[in-house]
A and B are shown apart, each in its own frame.
Chain A
Amino acid sequence: MSSREQDPIEEELDAHLRMAIEERMARGESRGEAERNARRELGNLTVVSEVTREQRRGPMIWVDRLTQELRVSMRSLMKSRAFTLGVVGCWAIAIAAHAAMLAIVDQIFVRPPAHVSDPNRVVRLYARFDYPGQPAYTTPTFSFQAADALRRDASRVGDFAAYAAFEATAGLPGGIRTVRASAITRNYFGVLGVSPLLGAFPVEGLPTLTSCSDGMVISHALFTAAFGGQSSVLGSTVRVADRVLPVCAVAPAGFNGGDPTNPEVWIPVEVAGVWARGANWREDRNWWVNIVARVHWFAQSRSDDVAAAAKRVLEPIVAESSRRGPPPVFAVIAASIVPGRAPGALAQNRTILWLGGAATLLLLLATLNVSTMLLLRTLEKQPEFALRRVLGASSGTIARHVGTEVIAIGALGAVVGLTLAQLLRPVLQQLLGVDAIPIPLMRVVAIEGAALAVAAVIASLPPILAAVSAQRAFAHRADPRSTASARAGLARSSLLVLQVASCVVLVAGALVMARSLKAVRDLDLGIDASRVLVASLDDQYAASLGKLPASALVSDIAAKAAHLPGVTAIATANRIPFGMAMGMSVFNEEQKIITLPNRGVPMHTGATHGFFSAIGAKVLKGRTFTAAEDSANARVAVVNATFATIAYPNAEPVGRCIFLGSPKYGECYRIIGVVADQRRFSVLPEEPIMDLYVPMSTGLRFSHPATQIILRVDGDPASLAPAVERIARSVLPPAAPITVQPLARRLDPQVRPFIAGTRLLSIYSFVAFIVATAGILGTLAYLARLAKRATAIRMALGATEMRAAMSVARSGIVTTVLGLVIGGALAMALRGRAGPLLFGVDETRIVMLIGQAVALVGLAGVVASVVPAWRGSRPGVFRSLNAD
């Protein structure tokens, strides 16, 4: 080796040695003696150069070693590309599924909205009402008066701020467009503890030099998109609706305050209230603002104290607003601002948690599979490891070599998996109906890091132990492979058993969820919501217009929309299925009130004649309204099946006389038809209640104006929504609050958890199924190859192909059966916990589905065991004997 190619440290030590020899020879020693003595004095050159190299590099020596090991591992992995591709691919898919799901779990359950300081002290308020005879419900909205009262009278426990989402037309530099806006009290940002990126947030009281009172705050997204990220935006003005507002501040990037509408502008409620809620925005019957509170630290208050204080302040307001009926049982809930801890999102949240668990199980299964494959690879390389041990390599060096290979595979899998996760997450967010907020890659890496570290340890332990035990095999002069194979047998079998067990749990979960979704889809809602489009004018806004003018506007929109192509039926009504309902006292011919025990009086709906066709109601008896009966003189009514059964248990309801409001009115409304019961709040079965339908003109006399336009359409109702909205906007005053959406969309939040759960669990279980089967197949193929010689001897001694194959397949089958038993038991143990997530799947059915999962995975396991064993017992097997 020339000096240029030689390692500099070794060259330096060589020079030292030469000089020492020369000096000794100069002192009279012979060359041989001088060399021997000089070498002895210098010591082990390899060790000296190694220690010198470590000192030269300092702490960086570990990076050097790792890099070197990684280089060797990568070279080795590149030689077996199929193996590397399989292992990395298997891990990457599981990491992608896990990281994407974990990021969503983090988003929903762990992470408070960005930029909120000390989020543990910030709560969002919810009001819970329990009216007699109606299901209790929880709402996140309050009246502005309520928010004002809390700010005034509950300041002892915390600071309260209000906000409400709305849409407004804004003249931005790029043109006029609708922006997502939020009407806020001026202490909103202060309560959340957010600091502006630029400028100063509006403050209460008189504006100072650094603040502006009636200006707007813009989001960072709008700041960059519409204003080019220029700080000159501060002080510029934007026309919003009929006002010109200065831009006071820019919110920090990603801030939304936990408002899922992701506002683009925040405007003080004193300015924006009228745009968001009309002229009556301050009235106590207008419940439209959300309330957040920051609990005082000095009062040592807890969220419960805030809730109790808020209840004390709000109770008189609630009692006042429900003075016409019996007061509800009222409570205030102070919940965390972390989205997943809000009341009312239980089904979705449970689904997300379960899917997080399923993704973890999938990652575990893939890790076990990777571990098995690495173990088999290590067993193949055991003679090499044994030789290295005999030549002086320490067990640490061997372990480091195998560990580095796992790190190399893990790193490749992690890079591919985390990249895939970033692509997969938006799809999952949409499927699960959670905010499509971006999650930085570093956050995902931080969340996933611990799981990856645990996975790497699980994957590397069995192969490291197998590699380290190679020396003993060599020392015993046995075939290292067979001895080590026997020693590693337990580890290998355990890994396979765990894989099969995990697979059973996932497949069983998917089957149960699919059954549950089918049960939900098969539910008879009493209507056909799939082809229905609904345009809803805000009730409070309609009330502010007055009953007759509002109804006239709605009728005008309906008359114009009826001419749209594809509309097969159209009607107006004062309520729609799955919307708010109003009760009414109804009396029979004996002037006795008709009530359902514990469920109260009938709910009533005022509707025009096309209503029943438009919602797809089933008419059980008689007929529904005619066009002529839309007029004020029609004294007719349609009732639902429960009403008919309760009021006329053994008699014909059609043709009977009922009295509305009070018997003293003396006006007989004749029942002309009976329709099937409809769901009121939930797609899942609920307690039946009595329904009464009267012509819209009668509905007007007794309660609210028509605010709903219901259209039955040919094809996708969503495609007609823009045309209907255009018509509505052309008829209504500017900025009137109207929403147009398919009726089915109201049901989506209820059905979505079942759909998402089924789809994702199916995907996860399919991947698990493939991974587990591949694991068994790979292991058995290896065992069959290992047992080729024994098989050949058996067959030479007269064993049939079948018998020889079965002796090899036995270990695979035994492993599979063990895995099935453990997996089945685990699935049975978990079935109780999955109960709240399921619908329409009884205990017997769950057990049957777990049985099916066991059978399915068992079949795959047996096939995966038999095929390689059978191939190993084919006639070619004798070649292995000849080779010996």
Chain B
Amino acid sequence: MSKRGDSRIEVLQGTLDFIVLQTLRWGPRHGYGMAQQIRANSSNALSVDTGSLYPALHRLERKKLIVASWETSENKQRVRVYRLTDAGRKQLAAERSKWEQLSAAIAGILNPPGAEADA
């Protein structure tokens, strides 16, 4: 949740699923762990709203891109741990390719070849 003047960026609509899949690429995570990792990996720049994260996790599970199971955490708590499925991996690859194309395109717009550096 961002506040006025906060340097954190809310996750853009439509990119949350991609971020969740990408986060799970490094191994199984529970929801809280995932939120923490997203924040840490983005150097505290990205904030995932809990009200969006859990609906996204359950939506991805319904689409069979991830699977979940109840496990006990290191703090002896019952937690729901999510893992990437093969379908999720394929989806991630596709999303990643699209994202890279989009980033390159936007980078191209921001820094057109031969343009002078901004003053």
Question: Which of A's residues lie within 8 Å of B, judged by CB?
Answer: 3, 8-9, 11-13, 15-16, 18-20, 22, 41-44, 47-49, 51-58
Q: Which of these binds chain A: B6-14, B54-62, B93-101, B105-113?
A: B54-62
Tell me the bound Cα distance from A12 to B55 in angstroms. Answer: 12
Q: Is the CB of B50 within 8 A of A41?
A: yes
On chain A, the residues within 8 Å of B55 by CB distance are 48, 51-52, 54-55
Q: Is the CB of B75 within 8 A of A52?
A: no
Interface string of B22-64 (1 = CB under 8 A from A): 0000000011100000000000000001110011111101100
Other-chain residue from B59, B75, B80 in contact with A12 (beta carbon distance below 8 A)? B80
Q: Is B102 part of the binding interface, using a Cβ–Cβ cutoff of 8 Å? A: no
B47 to nearest A CB, angstroms?
10
On chain B, the residues within 8 Å of A51 by CB distance are 51, 55
B6 to nearest A CB, angstroms?
13
Q: Is the CB of A19 within 8 A of B54?
A: no
Q: Is B15 part of the binding interface, using a Cβ–Cβ cutoff of 8 Å? A: no
Q: Is the CB of B62 within 8 A of A42?
A: no
Tell me the bound Cα distance from A113 to B5 in angstroms. Answer: 76
Q: Is the CB of A43 within 8 A of B32?
A: no
Q: Is the CB of B50 within 8 A of A43?
A: yes
On chain A, the residues within 8 Å of B1 by CB distance are 41, 43
Chain B: residues with Cβ within 8 Å of the partner, total of: 21
A26 to nearest B CB, angstroms?
11
Q: Is the CB of B80 within 8 A of A15?
A: yes
Q: Is B78 part of the binding interface, using a Cβ–Cβ cutoff of 8 Å? A: yes
A259 to nearest B CB, angstroms?
56
Q: Is the CB of A18 within 8 A of B77?
A: yes
B63 to nearest A CB, angstroms?
9
B46 to nearest A CB, angstroms?
15
Q: Is the CB of B50 within 8 A of A42?
A: yes
Q: Is the CB of A3 within 8 A of B54?
A: no
On chain B, the residues within 8 Å of A55 by CB distance are 55-56, 58-59, 62
Q: Is the CB of A11 within 8 A of B50?
A: no
A56-B62, A58-B62 known; A15+B79 contact, CB < 8 A: yes
Q: Is the CB of B32 within 8 A of A15?
A: yes
Q: Is the CB of A13 within 8 A of B54?
A: yes
A3-B78, A19-B32 known; A12+B54 contact, CB < 8 A: yes
Pairs across A and B, CB under 8 Å, 9 listed? A12-B31, A15-B32, A15-B78, A19-B75, A44-B51, A48-B51, A55-B56, A56-B62, A57-B62
Tell me the bound Cα distance from A52 to B62 in angstroms. Answer: 11
Other-chain residue from A18, A20, A48 in contact with B54 (beta carbon distance below 8 A)? A48
On chain A, the residues within 8 Å of B58 by CB distance are 9, 52-53, 55-56
Q: Is the CB of A20 within 8 A of B59?
A: no
On chain B, the residues within 8 Å of A43 by CB distance are 1, 49-51
Q: Is the CB of B59 within 8 A of A56?
A: yes
8 shortest interchain CB distances as A-B pairs: A56-B58, A55-B55, A55-B59, A19-B32, A52-B54, A16-B32, A52-B55, A12-B80
On chain A, the residues within 8 Å of B59 by CB distance are 55-56, 58
Tell me the bound Cα distance from A47 to B49 in angstroms. Answer: 13
On chain B, the residues within 8 Å of A42 by CB distance are 50-51
On chain B, the residues within 8 Å of A48 by CB distance are 50-51, 54-55
Q: Which residue of B lies closest to A8 (CB)?
A: B80
A15-B77, A43-B51 known; A56+B61 contact, CB < 8 A: yes
Q: Is the CB of A19 within 8 A of B50?
A: no
On chain B, the residues within 8 Å of A49 by CB distance are 54
On chain B, the residues within 8 Å of A8 by CB distance are 80
Interface string of B62-105 (1 = CB under 8 A from A): 10000000000101011110000000000000000000000000
Tell me the bound Cα distance from A835 to B37 in angstroms. Answer: 85
